[in-house]
Amino acid sequence: MNERNLTLLTDFYEITMANGYFAKGKKEQTAVFDMFFRRAPDGGGYAVMAGVGPLIDYLENLRFTDADIAFLRNKGFFQADFLEFLRTFRFECDVWAIPEGTPIFPGEPLVVVKGPILQGQFVETMILLTVNHQSLIATKANRMYQAAKGRGILEFGSRRAQGYDGAVLGARAAYIGGCSGTACTMADLRYGIPAAGTMAHSWVQSFDSEYEAFKAYAQIYPDQALFLVDTYNVVRSGIPNAIRVFNEVVLPMGFRPKGIRLDSGDLAYLSKQARTMLDEAGFEDARIVASNALDEYIIRDLMLQGAAVDTFGVGERLITACSDPIFGGVYKLVAMEKDGRLVPKIKISEDPEKIINPHFKQVYRLYSKGSHRAIGDVITLFDEGIDESRPYELFHPDFTWKRKTVRDFEAKPLLTPVFAGGKRVYESPGVHEIRDFCRRQVDQTLWDEVKRFENPHRYYVDLSQKLWDIKQNLLREETRKYEV
């Protein structure tokens, strides 16, 4: 992010509004913005937070260059003093974010920005672009990780990604979500995500025979002998030739073969056939990798059919999240400063789902001290807190008669300070630490019912009584203005 000037990677209306705030003397007025999403991808029960690290890089390097200002001047309708203001523009907001790898749910703030309205408004596009994309891919990867039940998942999607950044940042997000490696070399260079790969069908075709292709590869990479066996015929040619080269080249050079890869055909049947042939040849430790337009549903079915696959290589259906390629995060103003205090703001819609939760907020996750599983999330006023020493009543924010009192619980705030007055106060963990954190959070704190692919149990995100009362009062006040 910091290698390029991304300042003008924004919706144009962010700049027109910034100019407007400046012209009306509002540029220093404090505002609070929330980013949240309304629905988990693929009808799932949860999503995975990702994108905070790259977002930090963007905010730390937010500057308007002379070229940026010259471009805006040539548009012909920005005030000269506004353009001069941009020369010394520095990001000065406070920012909170839910840490990467955390399971997240609809309606709760993922990123909160508090500061001068001009600045908080301007960063909307990049917050949404960064968190939406990476959370989408991390969520898809985690679904595949869940389907594989401990088998490895490799991200193979660079060639089908939506552009350069889609490939590299998508690999990062996929790794956070549960992948064990990537085919993207730059993701290894930039983030230390293990890059892996052996050969394509073109390597096999470039030799006079499949046997010669495998032999040549093994002579060059005897400690990485994993052969693509479906160029001609898996059972009659590919696997026999692989076994022959394992015996003739790999073992005499003092190495054990790594395995084979299947990229077409009936993967369940072929993997079981391959497993039998490899075992009978004494290569019980040789891995079987399967690829070919896989997704979580195909992986789940292969597992149910007893496929002898050790690692799944997933490409286009992960890197593009093709079954549901939109993470619908939105960014809304929820409070404004007036006379030295924050005043809650609300957006009303004919669609109840689009009515926002107002005010400056925090999110708490309640965990059972007995099972250590998450009970539910509560959105509170930012300075409200939850007393763990007393029973706490949860209630559905829409169907308020649905209530539950929880006891013996632990309440942990999710929104973590990232910037204070524009200064970074958070050290983003490395991707390996984030991935391990994600696995622990999803595997150990979410009930299996929440992780179902079809009809998952709804994980409740409730409002505190104080926040619910504020929201209802605002709704009444606003609707009365338009009563006939």
Q: Is the dihedral of CA 284, 287, 292, 294 positive or negative?
A: positive
Structure tokens at 203: 């390597």
> Which pLDDT score, from 0 to 100, does residue 1 have?
47
Judge whether residue 484 has pLDDT over 60: no
Asked if residues 400 and 465 have their Cβ atoms less than 8 Å apart, the reply is no
Judge whether residue 204 has pLDDT over 50: yes
> Which pLDDT score, from 0 to 100, does residue 273 have?
98
Please write down the HEC assignment for all residues of 342-355.
EEECCCCCCCHHHC
Nearest 5°: the CA angle 240, 244, 248 is: 175
90-143 residue pLDDT tens: 999 999 999 999 999 999 999 999 999 999 999 999 999 999 999 999 999 999
Partners of 391 in the β-ladder = none
> Which pLDDT score, from 0 to 100, does residue 398 have?
86
Number of H helices, E strands in the chain: 16, 21
161-172 residue pLDDT tens: 999 999 999 999
* Mean pLDDT along residues 189-198: 94
Q: What domains are defined for the chain?
A: 12-137+325-480 (3.20.140.10), 144-319 (3.20.20.70)
448-469 residue pLDDT tens: 999 999 999 999 999 999 999 9
Asked if residues 104 and 44 have their Cβ atoms less than 8 Å apart, the reply is no
Q: In what order do the strands lie in the sheet with 311-314?
A: 181-182, 152-155, 311-314, 287-290, 259-262, 226-228
Question: Other CB atoms closer than 10 Å to residue 104's CB: what's the count?
Answer: 28
Query: pLDDT class for 2, splitting at 50, 70, 90?
Result: low
End-to-end CA distance of the chain, in Å? 52
The residue behind tokens 């407007």 is 20
Share of the chain above pLDDT 90, in %: 93
- CA atoms lying within 13 Å on the CB side of residue 225: 30
* Mean pLDDT along residues 7-19: 96
Nearest 5°: the CA angle 77, 79, 83 is: 110
330-367 residue pLDDT tens: 999 999 999 999 999 999 888 888 899 999 999 999 99
Asked if residues 437 and 444 have their Cβ atoms less than 8 Å apart, the reply is no
390-406 residue pLDDT tens: 999 999 888 889 999 99
* Phi and psi angles of residue 283, each rounded to the nearest 5 degrees, phi first: -115, 55
Q: Is 379 helix (H, G, I), strand (E, B) or coil?
A: strand
Contacts for 354 with CB less than 8 Å, ≥ 6 apart: 38, 347
DSSP H helical ranges for 34-155: 52-60, 66-75, 80-87, 117-122, 124-148
Q: Which helix (H) or strand (E) holds 12?
A: helix 12-23
DSSP H helical ranges for 286-414: 296-304, 316-319
Q: Which helix (H) or strand (E) holds 411?
A: strand 409-413
Query: What is the spatial distance between Cα 450 and Cα 377, in angstroms, rounded to a whole number?
Result: 14
45-100 residue pLDDT tens: 999 999 999 999 999 999 999 999 999 999 988 999 999 999 999 999 999 999 99
Q: Is 11 helix (H, G, I), strand (E, B) or coil?
A: coil
E strands, 270-399, are 287-290, 311-314, 329-338, 341-344, 361-368, 374-381, 392-395
Question: Other CB atoms closer than 10 Å to residue 24's CB: what's the count?
Answer: 9
> Which pLDDT score, from 0 to 100, does residue 350 have?
81
* Mean pLDDT along residues 228-256: 97
Query: pLDDT class for 479, splitting at 50, 70, 90?
Result: confident
305-335 residue pLDDT tens: 999 999 999 999 999 999 999 999 999 999 9
E strands, 92-201, are 94-97, 103-104, 111-116, 152-155, 181-182
Contacts for 328 with CB less than 8 Å, ≥ 6 apart: 37, 38, 39, 132
Can you list the pairs that 388-394 forms with residues at least 24 positions away whose Cβ atoms lie under 8 Å? 392/366, 393/465, 394/366, 394/460, 394/462
Query: What is the spatial distance between Cα 41 and Cα 328, in angstroms, rounded to a whole number?
Result: 9
Q: Is 409 helix (H, G, I), strand (E, B) or coil?
A: strand
Compute the mean pLDDT over every residue in the chain, rounded to the nearest whole number.
95
